[in-house]
Chain A
Amino acid sequence: MSDLFANARAIAGDIAAGRVSAVEICRQALDRIGRLNTSLNAFNLVTDERALDRAAEIDRLRASGSALGPLAGVPIAVKDNMCVRGMRTTASSRILDSFAPPYDATTIIKLEQAGAVIVGKTNCDEFAMGSSNENSAYGPVRNPWALDRTPGGSSGGSAAAVAASCVPLALGSDTGGSIRQPAAFCGVTGLKPTYGRVSRYGLLAFASSLDQIGPITRGVEDAALALQVLSGPDPMDSTAAHEAVPDFLAGLSREARDVRIGVPRAFVSEGVDASVLAAFDASLDVLRSTGATLVDIDLPHAKYAIPVYYLVCTAEASSNLARYDGVKYGYRSSESSQGLKTMYSKTRDEGFGAEVKRRIMLGTYVLSAGYYDAFYLKAQQVRTLLKQDYEHAFESVDVVVMPTSPIPPFKLGEKTDDPLQMYLADIFTVSVNLVGLPGISVPCGLVDAVGPGGTTRLPIGLQFVGKMFDEATILRVADAFEHATEWSRQLPPL
């Protein structure tokens, strides 16, 4: 019989077969969240009553002999930047502290139609802006492997909730690595689908040419299952593609014979922590053993991805976040008697945290008169060169492999005073968003570190990047890697 330590597919299978009830699994999830959330701070909101009602509904459906969806009764957590009708949705920002969306995100509709049971909204960096979860108005999430360290960001709460076995599946969003990097830091699997694969309707927009929703799971099989449910066009999101959706689960074969994997050696050799490099090199040997062929490739402009990303994403953010003005929803400053303009600026100063303001400022600057060509346009041109680098590489390989993060999970507070240092740690994830490609991070090692309670082990992640709309191949390679190692079966010492 399944419990929360099983994967989503097994839980749904057991519920459908009547071996366990959805209510029982839901209670287990709520109990575990109740026990662990005080130390992890992974959830902004736990929706006990609604979850138990939905789980009971799944059990009733089963009892009546109705067909159940592929995620029937699976407890899931949703990053708090996605709208669920009537459920407080804050983006971990003070400016949306009391916002209750009047509609559901398309991903929520699809997951609930598949039978998933939402147990809560997860903590994240404010408006998904950050790599450590320290930019949340509700305090940082703690890494289940080492409570003095960051779970990564921005989907840190979703990754921590899965790593701590509170839920087998959580939704994240990824603008520059926000699914993959926290998945790597928490020792779980994180998939950023191709730009356009999954509808963003109901996702609070950060950078519209980069944002993508995807699953965080304990293994590749659940990532494939979740992607199956989430994919497809949507009349409510013009960027959601009409591309055919293959059977992702059927493509998993536990081997990667004849797959050509590109290794961007020059890009990976600079500024990478020795422990990450050692895990990466060991992973390449494992990949050879799964039948894949490794090929050296060059991505000559990848080293410029950080400045390109931070110019593009802040420009888009400054425009997207203009909507938070104290008029239509969310927080309004009490000092609004001096007129409309003062109300706007006071509301935004009091409502936004430091990182969000910094990015709005940077984005406004690079779009402003005199600097547009030198910064924003230039970044868009280098974005084209980066795209051409990948196109060239994909002429000779099917997948590109690199570390997910150049460093293991770092200590809370370590990088908060120096935003540039924080940004530099995104080097291996941001180019994937700029080009729109799919990417997946899987656990590939544990490195020893000394913490307050003695020696702890910190997870390291390995990233596979695929061609546009070819999630099938990166899922197949990631699945082969997962089955050739033990890393995905390791659990944090909670």
Chain B
Amino acid sequence: MAPHVAVYIRHVRARRCPAACPRRERRGTILHVSTPLTIADVERIAALAHLELTEEEKHVFTKQLADILSYAEQLQAIDTTGVAATAHVNAHEAERDDALRPCLPVEEALRNAPDGAPEAGLFRVPRVIG
């Protein structure tokens, strides 16, 4: 993930986090996230990810995700005080001139759309406001 995405997420978190929320804890503090995962958590995450899960999927995922997260908790035992985060391993600069370059023609970009509107140069989507 590009670093700016992480920064954005952290920014959003800082703005919206209520005082009692665990994420308010100082960075570097070892957090114990051993609260068992509930179906309500799975529903909340599914909504964030725009996934509409069936009841069966919700049950299966609650158990499987809990297993994986509890396995991942072993990382909490490692002292990472003062250790920088590695988001990527690129060693080189990746800047280029901000110059116009040829890109995909609109018509071609629309060719795979499930409901394209090439005459308008647009993707058509269902109603946004009910």
- Enumerate chain A interface residues (CB-CB to B < 8 A): 98-100, 102-103, 195-196, 208-209, 235, 238-239, 241-242, 301, 304, 306-308, 310-311, 315-316, 318-319, 322, 325-332, 336-346, 348-349, 352, 354, 357-358, 360-362, 364-365, 367-385, 387, 419-420, 423, 434-436, 468
Contact = CB atoms under 8 A, between A and B. Distances in A.
Nearest 6 pairs between A and B by C-beta? A436-B89, A380-B85, A329-B112, A238-B94, A332-B114, A345-B52
A358 B67 CA distance: 12
Given A100-B111, A369-B21, A373-B27, A420 B67 contact: yes
A330 B85 contact: no
Nearest to B44: A368
B78 interface: yes
Given A310-B68, A419-B68, A319 B5 contact: yes
Contact of B1 (A316, A340, A384): A316
A329 B113 contact: yes
A375 B72 contact: yes
Nearest to A370: B23
A372 B109 contact: no
Contact of A387 (B31, B89, B112): B89
B42 A330 contact: no
5 contacts: A102-B108, A239-B88, A338-B126, A362-B65, A362-B68
B1 A337 contact: no
A492 to B, nearest CB: 34
B48 interface: yes
Given A336-B126, A340-B128, A196 B90 contact: yes
Contacts of A338: 126
A196 B93 CA distance: 12
A329 B109 CA distance: 9
B33 A371 contact: yes
Given A340-B125, A344-B50, A375-B33, 9 more contacts: A102-B109, A209-B87, A238-B96, A306-B71, A316-B1, A340-B128, A361-B45, A362-B65, A419-B68
B111 to A, nearest CB: 6
A238 to B, nearest CB: 4
Nearest to B116: A328
Contact of A99 (B10, B78, B112): B112
B1 A319 contact: yes
Contacts of B78: 301, 304, 378, 382, 385
A99 to B, nearest CB: 6
Contacts of A372: 9-10, 13, 23
B80 A420 contact: no
Contact of B125 (A306, A330, A343, A360): A343
B19 to A, nearest CB: 13
Contacts of A103: 104
Contacts of A238: 94, 96
Interface in B14-54: 16-17, 21-23, 25, 27, 31-33, 41-42, 45-54
Contacts of B85: 377, 380-381, 383-384
Q: Is the interface of B mostly helix, strand, loop or mixed?
A: loop
A339 B127 CA distance: 5
Contacts of B46: 345, 361
B52 A361 contact: no
B113 A368 contact: no
Contacts of B13: 369, 372
B91 A468 contact: yes
A363 to B, nearest CB: 8
B41 to A, nearest CB: 8
B76 A378 contact: yes
Nearest to A385: B83
A319 B1 CA distance: 8
A369 B23 contact: yes
Q: Which of B13, B17, B47 has the largest number of chain A CB atoms within 10 A?
A: B13
A316 B21 CA distance: 24
B68 A209 contact: no
A365 B80 contact: no
Nearest to A329: B112
B51 A348 contact: yes
B48 to A, nearest CB: 5
B126 A361 contact: no
Contacts of A357: 51, 53, 57, 61
B49 A360 contact: yes
A309 to B, nearest CB: 10
A336 to B, nearest CB: 5
A102 B104 contact: yes
A352 B9 CA distance: 25
Contacts of A385: 78, 80, 83
Nearest to B47: A345
A338 B127 CA distance: 8
Interface in B80-121: 80, 83-92, 94, 96, 104, 108-109, 111-115
B49 A381 contact: no
Given A307-B75, A327-B123, A436-B89, A368 B61 contact: no
A375 B32 CA distance: 10
A304 B72 CA distance: 9
Q: Which of A196, A375, A381 has the largest number of chain B CB atoms within 10 A?
A: A381
A361 B65 contact: yes
Q: Which of A301, A318, A380 has the largest number of chain B CB atoms within 10 A?
A: A380
